[in-house]
Amino acid sequence: MEFTGQIGLIWEETKVPLVVPVLKVMVILCLAMSAMLFIERVYMGIVIVFVKLFRRKPEKMYKWEPMKDDVELGNLGYPMVLVQIPMYNEKEVYQLSIGAACGLSWPADRVIIQVLDDSTDPAIKTLVQVECQRWASKGINIKYEIRDNRNGYKAGALKEGMKHSYVKQCDYVAIFDADFQPEPHFLTRTIPFLVNNPQLGLVQARWKFVNSDECLMTRMQEMSLDYHFIVEQEVGSSTHAFFGFNGTAGVWRISAINEAGGWKDRTTVEDMDLAVRASLKGWKFVYVGDLKVKNELPSTFNAYRNQQHRWSCGPANLFKKMAMEIIRNKKVSLWKKFYVIYSFFFVRKIVAHIVTFVFYCVVLPATVLVPEVEVPKWGAVYIPSIITLLNAVGTPRSLHLVLFWIIFENVMSLHRTKATFIGLLEAGRVNEWVVTEKLGDGLKTKLGGKTPRKPRFRIGDRVHILELGVGAYLFFCGCYDLAFGKNRYFIFLFLQSIAFFIAGVGYVGTMVSTS
């Protein structure tokens, strides 16, 4: 009791002169970041409504004519296309991607399928090589390429793949990650944009998730990514002819890649790096939202955490590396430079992550303990509610899950904020690349189509200390608000703390027993 009394005394003595001023500054900064995010979301909402109302389809914005057979030239009337499939120990999905690429509707003598296998498992390498030989025996022009190292990871594999002599005859390159399955008409939809519009360097398609109904976590991911593809990519394409390349399900003009300096492995977002550099050279991009390519969402929590670390750390690190280069560039307009630096990078890739965690999981709960600091209702309720609704409209079928989505996104914001600061400060894990685990159909086959619900519990693999620590902090703030507070935040705080505890013990997503 005496010890508790001493802590209470220290708290009362430091609260007014130290804690209150710091917390007030934090509230002001968080409200400013919330306002930035709110304006950004409203702006994109207005633009996307305009795009939909006036039917500004890519085929109307750019010249597009279907490829036609030429009587005199024959298949020579079709440009030569390279299809790259980078993969790493993809035992569960390699057949899907290779089969889909080999099934593309394009003259067989005008396309080269290039499988870039960085696998370290000899058995898997053999399986992939045999699969390539099987398609080659059917008359498909498929190349199986390996390296003696994994330098640069995916960027290194793509860069090495472009060095082969047969690539020189190709005009365009389509890229598909190992779990992506393009429809046969993919090239006939995308290549005409590049053929008829010499200013275009990239055509990007939308992702379609084959396992979005696998568990609640995949439904949450679908909501976030649908907003990215339906709104963010569409707005960037329609207003600035710029957006971040998604690393897959897109077709590049090879001369645009070369002019931009080729693939670089200086960050974990080599796709975004290339897109920004190509844009600074004056190349334009087009997003084709009604062309969807099937792929798989990470369904295990560790796989998703690793992916989100890469997707949050990489852009922050790239922003640090390229900010001055973008500002000094003279080939693009001032308006486009402002869009890339402020909207694309600063608000979406940095502010969005930081404000979600710092404001809603640290500062707002802290005001329960420090009643001298108040957060205006517009900042605590109205702005986040509108932002949430604007995000959720991209996936109407999941509107009833919006509460779960808010709580889940707040949990993930801890990991994203940490990764963002690692990227900005170029700290330890800045260039860590963990390939996202894909389960393909293997899991369902082994279990007779049923997802495992009670795996063997392994503490070392499942416990996440940071999530548990934040959960404990939120639970304490909730208890304090229930007992002494007037804010009535305790309902939110208890729900959010439970979510952090659940994530802290890894009880999220599809859980695969390692036995």
Paired sense of beta strands 250-253 and 172-175, if any? antiparallel
Band of pLDDT at residue 271, cut at 50, 70 and 90: very high
Partners of 116 in beta bridges: 86, 145
- pLDDT tens per residue, range 289-306: 999 999 999 988 989 999
The class (CATH top level) of 58-67+75-298 is alpha beta
Listed in sequence order, the DSSP H helices in 266-363 are 270-280, 301-328, 334-338, 352-357
Question: Of 279-288, 423-432, 450-459, which one has max mean pLDDT?
Answer: 279-288
First to last CA, the chain: 48
Question: Residue ranges of the domains in the chain?
Answer: 58-67+75-298
Tens-place pLDDT, residues 466-500: 999 999 999 999 999 999 888 789 999 999 999 99
> Is residue 271 annotated as part of the catalytic site, yes or no?
yes
59 vs 97: CA distance, rounded Å: 27
Cα distance between residue 473 and residue 174, in whole Å? 48
118 catalytic, yes or no?
yes
DSSP state of 250: E
Q: What is the pLDDT of residues 434-447, one digit of tens each?
A: 777 777 654 444 44
What's the chain's length in residues?
515
Which H or E run includes 173? strand 172-175
Q: Can you tell me the distance from the alpha carbon of 453 to that of 455, in angstroms, rounded to the nearest whole number?
A: 6
Beta pairing partners, 113 = 83, 142
Tell me the pLDDT tens digit for each residue of 400-434.
999 999 999 999 999 999 999 999 998 877 777 77
pLDDT band per the 50, 70, 90 thresholds, residue 100 = very high
Asked if the model's pLDDT at residue 448 lies above 70, the reply is: no
Confidence of residue 460 (pLDDT cuts 50, 70, 90): low
**Catalytic annotation, pick one of 118, 177, 179, 273:** 118
**What percentage of residues in the chain have a pLDDT greater than 90?**
73
3-state SS string for 125-172? HHHHHHHHHHHHCCCCCEEEEECCCCCCHHHHHHHHHCCCHHHHHCCE
pLDDT surpassing 70 at residue 451: no
Dump pLDDT digits (tens) for 321-359: 999 999 999 999 999 999 999 999 999 999 999 999 999
- Model confidence at 454, pLDDT cuts 50, 70, 90, reads very low
**What pLDDT was estimated at residue 224?**
94
For a pLDDT cut of 70, what percent of the chain falls above it? 92
Long-range contacts from 51-60, C-beta under 8 angstroms, 24+ separation: 51/234, 51/235, 51/238, 56/238, 57/290, 58/193, 58/237, 58/286, 58/287, 58/288
Query: 393 pLDDT band (50/70/90 cuts)?
Result: confident
Amino acid at 34: S
- pLDDT(190) > 90: yes
**179, 226, 265, 271: which is the annotated catalytic residue?**
271
Looking at residue 95, its amino acid is Q
- The model carries a pTM of 0.91
Lowest-pLDDT range, 35-44, 176-185, 384-393? 384-393
Instruction: Please state, in angstroms and rounded to a whole number, the distance separating the CA atoms of residues 300 and 302.
Output: 6
